[in-house]
Amino acid sequence: MILSTLEFQHPALPGGVLRYVKDGIDLQAGIESGEVVTFIAGQFEFQLPDKNTTGQEALSVAAPNTDLTLTRAIEAAKRYEPITTVTCVYREYDTDDLSGPRNKAIRLTTSSAKITTMAVSITSSWKDLTNRRFCRRIYTTTTHPGLKYL
């Protein structure tokens, strides 16, 4: 049987990370670093990104808003300064081998979240390469003092 897991990483989250498994019981499994971690049991629905070349693909996650854990985490992340994006990691585990994920983990950046009284909907996608600036390095007088004299 294949178990799907989600991990949300952000400094404002309790312990910096929230981990969930789509199952009725908690899961202890290994991650890429070799560390064994606990995924909390939860019921959520998700739609994996398509594998095509049509543009920006997204992972959509919908979870019930029963214990308000995700709601509090999202609100804490929105208030966090400096502004840091929430990273979402999707992994699949085979119940026969929990020492590590069965495939490479999918790392996405959370782009939006919608909270209602009944559910939390989160959309994550790969980094937006289309709107990225050309020169990633910013030259300032602090990092390059010679610019003062130009």
Residues of the domain holding 7? 2-149
Highest mean pLDDT (candidates 9-13, 37-41, 135-139)? 37-41
* Three-state DSSP class for residue 141: coil
Number of folded domains that form the chain: 1
pLDDT tens for residues 59-68? 788 888 777 8
Kindly state the tokens that stand for 79: 């208030």
Kindly state the tokens that stand for 7: 């991990």
Give the closest residue to 19 by CA, choosing from 6, 9, 30, 35.
Answer: 6
pTM beyond cutoff 0.85: no
* Contact residues for 4 (Cβ-Cβ < 8 A; gap 6+): 21, 22, 46, 90, 91, 92
* Three-state DSSP class for residue 99: coil
